[in-house]
Structure 1
Amino acid sequence: MASKSPAPHVRPWIASYPEGIDWAVELDIRPVHEQVLAACAKNPSAVALDFLGGTTSFGELASKIIAFAGALQREFGVKKGSRVALMLPNTPFYPIAYYAVLRAGGTVVNCNPLYTVHELSHIAENAGAEVMVTLDLQQIFEKAEKLVQAGHIKSLVVCHFPDALPLVKKILFSVAKRRDLARLKASPIADRISHFHTMVERGEPPTAVVIDAQTDIAVQQYTGGTTGLPKGAQLTHANIAANMSQINHWGCGLFLPPAKIVAVLPFFHIFAMTVCMNVPLCNGTQVVMLPRFELKALLNLLTRTRANVLPAVPTLLNAVARAEGATSEQLASIEVAISGGAALSNEIRAAFGKKSSAILAEGYGLTEASPVVCCAALRVPSKPLSIGLPLPGTDIRFVNLETDTPVGIGEDGEVQVKGAQVMLAYYNEPQATADAFMDGWLRTGDVGHMDEDGYVFLVDRIKDLIISSGFNVYPRTIEEALMAHDAVEEANVIGVPDDYRGEAPIAFVKLRDGASITADELKVFLAERISKIEMPREIIFKDTLPKTLIGKLSKKELREEYAQSTATT
């Protein structure tokens, strides 16, 4: 455990901290699996996981973690340094496998089940993961099967999806959805498949593993796919535990029992892994899960469980706020909604506020920081449009994009971070690691500034910055202006080559159901809100806008689509 003495003259945010929060608090860096097993021992009869009405107690969670860790050691030789890939949606299998890998001494490599086989191949090969834990749902299993056939993975541990369901749903699934399950015995790799339930049933305890929290890697999280092949951010046990500790101090008891945390965001994403799983479970707090976001399922979950903390992304909050079927009564149990993963527009904030009286706190982070760096207060209101204040034990500075020198209060610059949650390095990427840091500070690639009270405001991503006629044009500014129109539901802006300006902004817009407006009418509306330099060269209307799995609007697909369309014409 370690802490730093605050220097208020360079940390203006400390004066704005809510009462009771100390920037220099000592952070708990015990490995996360040790913390969760301690929580299980403290109250074994309490409910740890709720999955579609089926529950797992903390005692059951601990016994399965221990048994699976022992099986991983004995059957696959998992030890310190072993990479184990997890390709699982939100089910009880995920936390069991995650903590078991860590208890066995291994490193978790998260894999998005919606990735293509090509994308998964790069991650598996780069990480050197020999074992993958996955599901027997056909659409997921067939990808894992191909990874084994291609030689990227040696062995699979397969979880039987119906085992995660409560009894009645398990029976119904086995009858009505049988075709959705892979036929494992008929698989060409059947001899390289182990069954999760068989491994756990053996109940063999693992051998002891001594973990150095500061240097041993807990999670190798792949990131940066929009700028080339994903890189493996190496997060130590201390990185992950420190960020949990920072969030706990910031929450002032929010994540303690009898709270219930909604986990609709996928655990394999760093935001959900930390905020929806690690923080609550290590506090002995119940996690209520959904395998994916569906509005009706989420509303039913809230009604049934009365969960009170909702980590979310802006598009999820927007869907809830705009849905006619979502009533204030159904959302009444939510006390705090935490928005992350993308910028939260004032329009979404206002729309959600009409449906829910919950505190809506925007946070900010990145994979390389485990991930949370800043957050609005979780118990009292914060400044609107701000991503809040740096967490305890976290330092932030802003650096001029041209001179690489720190800038003052109110001046825009690249956001750079220091703190115990910052990654060790990128795996086998010395140059990328060197490029990710400046004088020991993590470069975020985001542009923003801090006001006199220490509140942080983001402007945009450096890589999304559009240089038009020599001026910096930030897509977020244009997107915010578009979202201010009542007819606009979603907006995403990219930069494209322009013979005259060098680059020009192009706006993609999804209108609300039943709304109608022309591009020219929308430009007239924008003219009062943005400059001529910022005015989109073209506004393209689409029925849907591409998103990442956690619901973040994606520019990558729009760039590819626009490039293809211009090449064709």
Structure 2
Amino acid sequence: MLRVELIRPVPQLLVEQAARWGDKIVFSDDRRSVSYQDLADRTRRVAGHLVSAGIARGDRVLIYLDNSADIAEAYLMTTRASLVGVCVNADAAPAEIEHMLVDSGASVIITDRAHLAHARELGRLRGAMVLVVRPGRVEDARSYEELATTEPAGPPRDDLGLDDAAWMLYTSGTTGRPKGVVLTQRGCLWVVAACWAPIAGMSEQDRVLCPLPLFHSYALVLCVLGVFATGATERILPKFSPGRVLDLLATEDFTILPGVPTMFQYLVHSARERTVDAEGLRLCLSAGAILPAALNAEFEEVFGVKLLEGYGITETSTMVTMNTPDGGRVLGSCGLPMPGIGVRLVDPVSGRDVGVGEEGELWVSGPNVMRGYHNLDEATAEVLQDGWYRTGDLGRRDANGFLTISGRTKELIIRGGENIYPAEVEAVLLKADEVRDAAVVAREHPDLGEVPVAFVVPEEPGKLDVDALLGRCARELSKFKVPAGVFEIESIPRTGSGKIMRFLLQKQLPTPAG
């Protein structure tokens, strides 16, 4: 059942939840806790200060922070000033952060001391205001805490429309450059109202343990909007650690644990070495990558709690389909479409809808679909056609409507829930003088699902410096994008038009040791 009362502007929800829950904690991390009343007051003040400082409606705010309650607060604050929150992976390579700043045109950067030096460089580059979240004054930056605890000269705008741009999250593109996916309050809160509140049953009685990185849309919608809109309480971890998760489950009364398949794989491995105590846990949720049926069953056996899989991507404000805790479930399936969401499986060649059991490309329509890619009209037009978003993912539907994802028409590699496009890695490899040609493909991994590996044609056969090549990748790419292996090859197989025939390279992959 759709919880339509939750689909309202965030500033309105903030005020109402503060009046209802007051001093109840909404978000906490290893450093601080923030109550519902604090959240409403702090977001109002910071937004008011930004408006008074002349930050224009619709300007972008780069949220450049390590995982913390600060990110959750910043996501909500930007709506009060009618700005667009742009959250980035703080562990990304500096060049990637710079691209996202320049591409988004952000006029404000919110950062922490760990990234302050780089943020100040970026601020000078773009003339952007830099706010640092830790207390105290620093050169070339303003104190976010000071803005959050002092009254501004004027009020926040508090008038962001439900269908206006609210958040922009970056996803890798086929050209090797991340694309900004523009999301709305209506789209994201629709997922809360159609999935997390009614299906997962999130309510004021829940305590969520969040090991997810908050720069992902999955975490934005579930672990920020879902938590505060339903009156729940959440603990945010700085990074995922299976030992830390198991310790917290044993010592604190958490009821919901969201994650990606890789996290649940590591938790199962860790649970074999110690006693599992998760008595208060009532539900675990998985998205971001395909959850193997065997892992789903093993996790539920070891932890004694249901692990529900769903399907969603950034361009659809995350969830499109979801399994339910009650009623029928098909392990390995990602469930049924949510209320108000249209789903088609279409033959990529003929354009016809396929039948039961046949494989087709997944198309999605509904209020959760993105507005488009920021400043990329052609890329937007390629995937948004006649009200449908073409996901590029392949799937099958059984006679009862349960969807199972079977592959991708795109060349995306998903490493532990993180998206990698081969072209992005190949562009770095080809910068090296000793590399004549290169191609990146996915190799199966027992824990991460997939990892990227590179095939390289050297200028001088037999003289490829693999360590130097991987060092270049480590300097220019986020850690998860660095190839797990490099293999020398005489030539890259290509079609007549120059496209890489990746399936031929995958057949040449050596069997991993062990």
Range of TM-score over shorter length: 0.7 to 0.9
> CA 1:43–1:302 in 2, change beyond 3 Å: closer, same or farther?
same
Q: Map of 1:319-330 to 2, 5 A cutoff?
A: 319-324=266-271, 327=274, 329-330=276-277
Aligned to 2:193: 245
Say whether the 8 Å CA contact 1:261–1:310 is kept in structure 2. Answer: yes
> CA 1:135–1:53 in 2, change beyond 3 Å: closer, same or farther?
closer
- Which one of 42, 63, 68 corresponds to residue 91 of structure 1? 68
Aligned to 1:433: 380
- Which one of 185, 198, 217 corresponds to residue 146 of structure 2? 198
Residues 1:221 and 2:169 are matched in the alignment = yes
- Unaligned 5+ runs, structure 1: 1-20, 164-182, 466-474, 480-491, 496-502, 513-551
Paired residues, number: 445
Aligned to 1:155: 129
> CA 1:308–1:28 in 2, change beyond 3 Å: closer, same or farther?
closer
Q: Which amino acid aligns with 2:101?
A: A
**Residues in 2 aligned to 1:426 and 1:155: alpha-carbon distance in whole angstroms:** 25
- CA offset digits 1:460-490 (Å, max 9, x no partner): 111249xxxxxxxxx99xx9xxxxxxxxxxx
**Residues in 2 aligned to 1:511 and 1:391: alpha-carbon distance in whole angstroms:** 29
Q: Which amino acid aligns with 1:155?
A: M
Say whether the 8 Å CA contact 2:64–2:110 is kept in structure 1. Answer: yes
> CA 1:278–1:421 in 2, change beyond 3 Å: closer, same or farther?
same
Aligned to 1:398: 345
**Residues in 1 aligned to 2:440 and 2:179: alpha-carbon distance in whole angstroms:** 30
Say whether the 8 Å CA contact 2:315–2:370 is kept in structure 1. Answer: yes
Say whether the 8 Å CA contact 1:68–1:97 is kept in structure 2. Answer: no
Please report how far the alpha carbon of residue 211 of structure 1 lies from its aligned counterpart in structure 2 after TM superposition. 2.6
> CA 1:357–1:365 in 2, change beyond 3 Å: closer, same or farther?
same
Please report how far the alpha carbon of residue 87 of structure 1 lies from its aligned counterpart in structure 2 after TM superposition. 1.0
Please report how far the alpha carbon of residue 508 of structure 1 lies from its aligned counterpart in structure 2 after TM superposition. 4.9
Q: Map of 1:22-421 to 2, 5 A cutoff?
A: 26=4, 28-52=6-30, 54-75=32-53, 77-137=54-114, 140-149=115-124, 151-152=125-126, 154-160=128-134, 185=138, 190=139, 192-204=140-152, 206-214=155-163, 216-225=164-173, 227-251=175-199, 254-324=201-271, 327=274, 329-380=276-327, 382-421=329-368
**Residues in 2 aligned to 1:114 and 1:228: alpha-carbon distance in whole angstroms:** 18
Say whether the 8 Å CA contact 2:197–2:203 is kept in structure 1. Answer: no
**Residues in 2 aligned to 1:193 and 1:553: alpha-carbon distance in whole angstroms:** 28
Q: Which amino acid aligns with 2:116?
A: F
Aligned to 2:394: 447
**Residue identity (%):** 26
- Superposition RMSD in Å: 3.3
Please report how far the alpha carbon of residue 323 of structure 1 lies from its aligned counterpart in structure 2 after TM superposition. 0.9
Say whether the 8 Å CA contact 1:132–1:153 is kept in structure 2. Answer: no
> CA 1:269–1:200 in 2, change beyond 3 Å: closer, same or farther?
same
- CA offset digits 1:9-68 (Å, max 9, x no partner): xxxxxxxxxxxx46xx75753122322332122110212123238432211222111111
Say whether the 8 Å CA contact 1:157–1:196 is kept in structure 2. Answer: yes
**Residues in 2 aligned to 1:82 and 1:318: alpha-carbon distance in whole angstroms:** 40
Please report how far the alpha carbon of residue 219 of structure 1 lies from its aligned counterpart in structure 2 after TM superposition. 0.5
> CA 1:414–1:511 in 2, change beyond 3 Å: closer, same or farther?
closer
> CA 1:68–1:450 in 2, change beyond 3 Å: closer, same or farther?
same
- CA offset digits 1:443-472 (Å, max 9, x no partner): 11100011110100110111249xxxxxxx
Say whether the 8 Å CA contact 2:197–2:230 is kept in structure 1. Answer: no
**Residues in 1 aligned to 2:246 and 2:16: alpha-carbon distance in whole angstroms:** 32
Say whether the 8 Å CA contact 2:63–2:109 is kept in structure 1. Answer: yes
> CA 1:553–1:346 in 2, change beyond 3 Å: closer, same or farther?
farther
Please report how far the alpha carbon of residue 326 of structure 1 lies from its aligned counterpart in structure 2 after TM superposition. 6.2
Q: Which amino acid aligns with 2:60?
A: R
**Residues in 1 aligned to 2:51 and 2:236: alpha-carbon distance in whole angstroms:** 28
- CA offset digits 1:59-86 (Å, max 9, x no partner): 12221111111122223x2342111110
**Residues in 2 aligned to 1:87 and 1:506: alpha-carbon distance in whole angstroms:** 29
> CA 1:566–1:249 in 2, change beyond 3 Å: closer, same or farther?
farther
**Is the partner of 1:266 in helix, strand or coil?**
coil
Please report how far the alpha carbon of residue 553 of structure 1 lies from its aligned counterpart in structure 2 after TM superposition. 12
How does the TM-score come out when normalised to structure 2? 0.79
> CA 1:404–1:359 in 2, change beyond 3 Å: closer, same or farther?
same
Please report how far the alpha carbon of residue 97 of structure 1 lies from its aligned counterpart in structure 2 after TM superposition. 1.7
> CA 1:115–1:567 in 2, change beyond 3 Å: closer, same or farther?
farther
Please report how far the alpha carbon of residue 207 of structure 1 lies from its aligned counterpart in structure 2 after TM superposition. 3.6
**Residues in 2 aligned to 1:451 and 1:408: alpha-carbon distance in whole angstroms:** 9
Please report how far the alpha carbon of residue 506 of structure 1 lies from its aligned counterpart in structure 2 after TM superposition. 7.1
**Residues in 1 aligned to 2:310 and 2:490: alpha-carbon distance in whole angstroms:** 37
Q: Which amino acid aligns with 2:132?
A: V
Say whether the 8 Å CA contact 1:387–1:455 is kept in structure 2. Answer: yes
- Unaligned 5+ runs, structure 2: 424-438, 449-477, 493-514
**Residues in 2 aligned to 1:26 and 1:99: alpha-carbon distance in whole angstroms:** 20
> CA 1:504–1:57 in 2, change beyond 3 Å: closer, same or farther?
closer
Please report how far the alpha carbon of residue 564 of structure 1 lies from its aligned counterpart in structure 2 after TM superposition. 6.3
How does the TM-score come out when normalised to structure 1? 0.72
> CA 1:39–1:327 in 2, change beyond 3 Å: closer, same or farther?
farther
